[in-house]
């Protein structure tokens, strides 16, 4: 392996707001449990913005509804990933793939870093981008994120990205914590920073709508965005059963249309929804052992699912959880293939 000086930030990692300060280069792990940056897979991808998408392994969240759970819960669930790759080689692959006929037919015009969460690999991605731009100066970059980076990391990301796709999971801390294990405040702060000062880079905010869990979060979220700037783009994604929420019902068409109406009523002018709707499922009952720790029904329900996946710490908060190095949610394998 070549010189890893460019990964110096990993020696006291504060790339995201968990701010674990562990030395990942010495094999220590924080909430994300990732040491060296690892690539999960890479492929041409037709979803807008069309791209050569690099999926990075590992995440700083433990979302109950994760659709990429075989990647995001790396390294604990043991699924194969490509692993650490020389940044120059990965850059070469990306630039080459974007120059192929299939890429041109697809109109793929950028490298799209996704995951997992790319923020936890920020110095590595920065290096890949540098290498790619040495090979092709005009290389465009999309950063697909859950928004839980520090302000410093956001500044760095804004320094090299062409576009950002930005997930918002919930407005209120307790729903966000119950669903992801992390609080919402830093995510809202960063979303506002982008909306106010880097609007040209925002591809869209994305809100996955999960029946009965974050339905009531939609109104405060769209009002929050409309207050920043009503022209900011928002796309609602219909939840489909996944990971710990493998038996929870998908979002229906009526709910998705209601979300768009809510967005428009709050003043948003660029709001839409996408995804498959109406997938069947059953809502789990609320677990009495966790309900006292949460006030809203959405948080209680999310926490009940987390409890079922053996999250024992409530209110859920992966930053302070004493079990975060042996978290059983990270090893959860759904019975139903999703």
- Binding site residues, ligand SF4, CB under 6 A: 13-16, 18-20, 22, 30-32, 60, 62, 120, 181, 311-313, 316-318, 321, 323-324, 327, 329
Q: What distance in Å separates the CA atoms of residue 316 and residue 299, rounded to the nearest whole number?
A: 10
Minimal distance, residue 137 CB to ligand SF4, in Å: 30
CB nearer to ligand SF4: give 161 or 324.
324
Minimal distance, residue 198 CB to ligand SF4, in Å: 22
Q: What distance in Å separates the CA atoms of residue 86 and residue 43, rounded to the nearest whole number?
A: 17
CB nearer to ligand SF4: give 36 or 262.
36
Determine whether 91 is exposed, middle or buried from the number of CB atoms within 10 Å of its CB (0-12, 13-18, 19+). Answer: buried
Minimal distance, residue 190 CB to ligand SF4, in Å: 14
CA of 258: how far to CAs of 40, 65, 89, 265, in Å?
Answer: 36, 21, 46, 10
- Residues 240, 278 contacting (CB under 8 angstroms): no
Minimal distance, residue 10 CB to ligand SF4, in Å: 8
CB nearer to ligand SF4: give 64 or 268.
64
End-to-end Cα, the chain, rounded Å: 35
Name the H helices within 3-143: 69-72, 87-98, 101-106, 122-135
Minimal distance, residue 329 CB to ligand SF4, in Å: 4
Minimal distance, residue 125 CB to ligand SF4, in Å: 12
Phi, psi of 149 (to 5 degrees): -85, 160
Token reading at 195: 């909306």
CB nearer to ligand SF4: give 14 or 192.
14
Nearest-CB residue for ligand SF4: 30
| CB under 8 A, 24+ apart: contacts of 318-327 | 318/18, 318/31, 318/61, 318/62, 318/181, 318/182, 319/18, 319/19, 319/31, 319/182, 321/181, 324/31, 325/29, 325/33, 327/62, 327/76
CB nearer to ligand SF4: give 16 or 188.
16
Q: Which of 90, 81, 97 is CA-nearest to residue 35?
A: 81
CB nearer to ligand SF4: give 222 or 311.
311
CB nearer to ligand SF4: give 194 or 329.
329
Minimal distance, residue 71 CB to ligand SF4, in Å: 15
> Three-state DSSP class for 114?
strand
Minimal distance, residue 99 CB to ligand SF4, in Å: 32
Question: Please, what is the angle between helix 297-308 and helix 173-180, to 10°?
Answer: 20
CB nearer to ligand SF4: give 181 or 183.
181
């Amino acid at each position: 392996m070549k010189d890893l000086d460019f990964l110096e930030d990993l020696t006291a990692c504060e790339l995201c707001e968990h701010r674990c300060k562990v030395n990942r280069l010495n094999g220590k792990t924080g909430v994300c449990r990732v040491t060296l940056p690892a690539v999960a897979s890479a492929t041409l991808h037709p979803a807008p913005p069309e791209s050569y998408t690099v999926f990075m392994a590992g995440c700083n969240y433990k979302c109950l509804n994760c659709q990429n759970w075989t990647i995001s819960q790396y390294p604990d669930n043991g699924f194969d990933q490509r692993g650490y790759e020389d940044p120059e080689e990965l850059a070469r692959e990306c630039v080459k793939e974007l120059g192929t006929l299939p890429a041109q037919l697809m109109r793929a015009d950028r490298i799209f870093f996704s995951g997992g969460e790319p923020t936890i690999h920020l110095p590595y991605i920065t290096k890949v981008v540098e290498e790619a731009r040495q090979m092709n100066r005009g290389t465009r970059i999309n950063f697909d994120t859950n928004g839980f980076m520090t302000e410093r990391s956001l500044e760095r990301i804004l320094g090299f990205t062409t576009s950002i796709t930005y997930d918002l999971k919930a407005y209120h801390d307790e729903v966000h914590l119950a669903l992801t294990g992390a609080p919402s405040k830093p995510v809202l702060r960063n979303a506002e920073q982008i909306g106010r000062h880097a609007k040209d880079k925002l591809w869209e905010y994305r809100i996955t709508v999960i029946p009965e869990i974050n339905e009531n979060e939609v109104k405060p979220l769209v009002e929050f965005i409309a207050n920043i700037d009503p022209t900011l783009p928002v796309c609602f994604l219909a939840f489909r059963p996944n990971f710990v929420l493998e038996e929870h019902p998908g979002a229906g068409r009526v709910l998705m249309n209601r979300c768009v109406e809510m967005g428009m009523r709050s003043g948003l002018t660029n709001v839409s929804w996408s995804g498959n709707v109406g997938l069947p499922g059953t809502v789990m009952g609320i677990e009495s052992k966790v309900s006292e720790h949460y006030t809203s029904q959405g948080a209680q329900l999310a926490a009940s699912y987390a409890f079922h996946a053996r999250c024992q710490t409530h209110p859920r908060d992966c930053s302070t959880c004493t079990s975060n190095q042996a978290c059983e949610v990270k090893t959860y394998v759904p019975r139903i293939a999703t």
